Structure 1
């Protein structure tokens, strides 16, 4: 006698998580530079999407995680409200071809407007924004603009003990433990959430950070 769960799968009444990836072509993804992360996300960072990176504190390795993707881009990226002024010599050492444009804007509405204009621009590439727990309507609006213009957005937010519903395509929680960056996937287009796994971002950290790590 078949197991009840197997009967539900056979009838198509049970969603199996991996079905989402079967509908997406490889060209719809951008390589994250981390094979384990690519596999868990179904192919990499989905184009035309907003991705959330939750951090306990700044500079835990979030930029090192994004560095392979930023390096591969031909267009300059925009950083909105970074917690510190970008250090161009350090970024150039990591082979970032162009210095990022950066903007400090305390007014949330003006910051949102600037992000939207960047997404609509054909001369700018990836947008990385540090926002303090943006409201659901803000994330939904950014997701609509990113999808329309096939742009990639990363929102760095504070660590959340309980995750409220947001329109992010992927939601990652970053933490530095056991001498490595641990990435937990809270939400993904590819299926169910996944527990934390190590990501070897140390190669993209400055030498002093590598020694401290």
Structure 2
């Protein structure tokens, strides 16, 4: 009979912190475009993984945080339920190699089905999805699919007052205080880290930087 703690680990309900990051092959890591974030995440975004970005409110730099990794993709990325229609001139300014494909689906079950299908596709560079919340079963299933197909995926959710265990590889909380602050509440092979600034405004056009 399995030990109760082992059952919790297997289900993804218990996170195991470690004092040192596990050894990961360099090709499994995707440069985030932000040196300090790379250091905090043990080298960058892990491919074959689901990463959660909790946002205090939308449009405070969360998309700019992942823009460098989206820009590096040579295949189109899928955006599921973005909070606003993508602004094509702005995306063109960011020099994405392929314009993103975007999907709006109000039915959560259908959106999750589309997400899972996208993770299995070799025609996509990455998947970015916005959800109000995902339960532990949905996160575990998506993480398993992302790992099986070596896909890179991001889930953007609202801030959560209490952080219940989820099978995300990395979990970040974002908020704006003069500039974007990134707090690591869960990371692969390491302990949580306090907020640190990320200069996402440097990706904006000059007039937007001045107004920001």
Per the normalisation by structure 2, the TM-score is 0.89
* Paired position in structure 2 for 1:19: 20
Contact preservation (8 Å) 1:126, 1:153: yes
RMSD (Å) for aligned C-alpha atoms = 1.4
* Paired position in structure 2 for 1:169: 169
Larger radius of gyration: 1
Q: Is 1:205 aligned to residue 204 of structure 2? A: yes
* Paired position in structure 2 for 1:183: 182
* Paired position in structure 2 for 1:6: none
Q: How far apart in 2 are the matches of 1:189 and 1:81?
A: 27
Deviation at 1:212, TM superposition (A): 3.0
Map 1:1-213; keep pairs closer than 5 Å. Answer: 17-21=18-22, 23-177=23-177, 179-213=178-212
Contact preservation (8 Å) 1:136, 1:167: yes
Unaligned runs of 5+ in 1: 1-14
Contact preservation (8 Å) 1:32, 1:45: yes
Q: How far apart in 2 are the matches of 1:157 and 1:207?
A: 29
Unaligned runs of 5+ in 2: 1-15
Q: How far apart in 2 are the matches of 1:142 and 1:175?
A: 26
Q: How far apart in 1 are the matches of 2:19 and 2:67?
A: 27
Contact preservation (8 Å) 2:17, 2:189: no
* Secondary structure in 2 matching 1:137: helix
Q: How far apart in 2 are the matches of 1:16 and 1:84?
A: 36
Q: How far apart in 2 are the matches of 1:155 and 1:206?
A: 26
* Secondary structure in 2 matching 1:19: coil
Q: How far apart in 2 are the matches of 1:106 and 1:20?
A: 38
Q: Any idea what the Cα deviations from partners look like across 1:127-180, whole Å, max 9, x if unmatched?
A: 000001111101000000000000011000001121111100000000010x21
Q: How far apart in 2 are the matches of 1:201 and 1:174?
A: 12
The number of residues matched between the two structures is: 197
Contact preservation (8 Å) 1:90, 1:206: no
After the TM superposition, which parts of structure 1 deviate over 3 Å for at least 4 consecutive aligned residues?
Answer: 206-209
